[in-house]
Amino acid sequence: MSDTLAGSAGSPPARLGPYDVDGKIGQGGMAIVYKGVQPSLNRAVAIKVLPPQFSTTQELLARFDREAAIVAQLAHSNIVQVIDRGRQDNLLYIVMEYVEGQSLDKIIQAGGLTLAQVIDFATQICEGLDYAHQAGVIHRDLKPSNILVDQRTNRVKIADFGIASLESTDSALATLTLDRSAIGTMNYMSPEQRMDSHRVTSSTDIFSLGVILYEMLTGKLPVGHFRDPSMIRQDIPLGFDTIVKRCLAESPADRYASAAQVRDELQRLTARRTAPRSFSVMGRFNKRQQWVVLAGAATGLLLLLVAVAAAVGHLRKLQSERGGPLAVGGPSANEIRIQSDYARAQGMIREGKWAEAMVILSGLVQQAPRHPLAAEFQFAIAMACGELPDRERSILEFDRLIRNYPQSPRVSEAIVKKCRAEWERGRQRRMLGGPVWDAQLQQRLIAELQEVLDKHPATAHAVSALDLKAEIAEMPLLSDVHAAAEALMMRYHLMPEGSPDALYHAAELYDQKVKDPVVAGQAYALFVHDFPSDRRAPKARSRLEQLRQNK
């Protein structure tokens, strides 16, 4: 084996220490992994050989021995066991448990992870992480390629614990990692780790876990202004959006305090999805309404697939025009400029420089109106207008997105935000002495929101649409309290854990204004059952008893 280990095309050594070497099974920016055999026990092992530069100084040798010894103490079913460490000539190697299976990145690339598989894998990753963190060991380079799945048992195994800290020990060695795999690793790094890789805590692994969870759910990386998982896949409960966002919080203090907390949230979410209920919210709607909800989910998924297909078709057209796949010749100078400008605009948005970002985004929309990300540029412009605040232009820009990019997955969100901006504009005019209420405006906005609910009944947009629909329907002149109460109950159905206010208000509307004691009693019963510690629970329980006595 040559001294320049990375990229070596030479034959593997026949033996490393007491271990026979069968052949190479993997290679990264900093090491080569071989499959080997431990003759004394006749068992397969994995041998990770580190670059020769690690043996150049006593400081690095001491660090290697110390880190390897610490990681070897980790004995957990979800962590690849470190068996031995050694040195042969100028090579350092680590001997690990051999896992017969695939890395998680290969499984994600193959596609088709079910929600049950995502929960299972994520829970196991949390178990391994929590055990290591309690032992004082941080991974520092958690990513799908460092997570193995045993093909026989589906047991998840986290690999390379502690190795990342070795590989970032020296700035000269760090330059060896500047290949495609290292650049990809940046997507999994927390903001604080990118600033200073030596001053990280277990919270940086929580951030990486959030990236992995998002990628398992959607097949995509949460880069820039990313969409919630539930907006990409119709079968993903809204609770996953909350878990992912908290893991990916920019400040470590805003993330989960431990991997065990993430595991517990996943388990609670699973329990809520599978727990039987004595009262079905869908049962309150007639057959036609139930069909609309179910058909809407299918239609929403179809529209998303159409949008994805259109984007893929556009990319293929670009590839054809350039004479082959984009990855072969690389992106064009114009594409690089577009991506660079978009990244710069996103950075300005994060810094609150909305006006500067709008100038760049507006230029992108004008110069590349058919770019696969054009709808994202337009959406960001509308959002920036709302932050400035420029409500009138925000409405205009959202409307432009809806008209110019009707197949974009952003359309439903844009409709909800446009309706909210129009409603707030009407409220402001009323406060300034304008008309009391505009019934035509109310009816139009409710119709537009209902279109979102019909097409995408189980997404994050649907919750926002239901909140706004209930607010608009309850106000005079329209004052359709039945529609308002129904919207609030549907909101509870979509997001039960986050809807105590909606459920209680719906119960009051059915009780006091709709005058439907049966549905009111059912709503009060649900509230008492799901939110027993809420300050309104005694009042709801008392009213429920009165309704039962009046039957």
Active site residues: 141
Q: DSSP state, 241? A: H
The alpha-helical segments, DSSP class H, found in 322-410 are 326-329, 333-350, 354-367, 374-387, 391-404
Residue type, 345: A
Which tokens is 495 given? 């997001």
Residue type, 42: N
- The distance from CA 194 to its chain's CA centroid, rounded to whole angstroms, is 20
Angle at which helix 500-508 crosses helix 460-474, to 10 degrees, equals 30
Paired with 364 in beta bridges are none
472 closest CA partner among 450, 446, 501:
446
**Strand pairing of 43-50 and 32-38?**
antiparallel
Buried b (16+ CB within 10 A) or exposed e, 23-36: eeeebbbbbbbbbb
C-beta separation of 500 from 531 below 8 A: yes
Q: How many residues does the chain have?
A: 551
Paired with 158 in beta bridges are 79, 147
Torsion sign across C-alpha atoms 46, 26, 204, 238: negative
**Strand pairing of 147-150 and 101-103?**
antiparallel
| Local structure of 24: helix, strand or coil | strand
Checking 304-312 for CB contacts under 8 A at 24+ apart, the result is 304/232, 304/234, 304/409, 306/407, 307/407, 307/408, 307/409, 310/407, 311/372
Strand order in the sheet with 19-27: 15-16, 19-27, 32-38, 43-50, 91-97, 82-88
Report how far residue 468's alpha carbon sits from residue 423's, in angstroms, rounded to the nearest whole number. 9
Torsion sign across C-alpha atoms 65, 67, 73, 74: negative
**Strand pairing of 19-27 and 43-50?**
unpaired
Task: Categorise residue 475: left if φ over 0, alpha if ψ from -120 to 50, beta otherwise.
Answer: beta
CA distances from 353 to 233, 323, 386, 387, 540 (A): 32, 39, 13, 10, 47
Buried b (16+ CB within 10 A) or exposed e, 428-440: eeeeeeeeebbee
Report how far residue 3's alpha carbon sits from residue 24's, in angstroms, rounded to the nearest whole number. 16
Q: DSSP state, 55? A: G
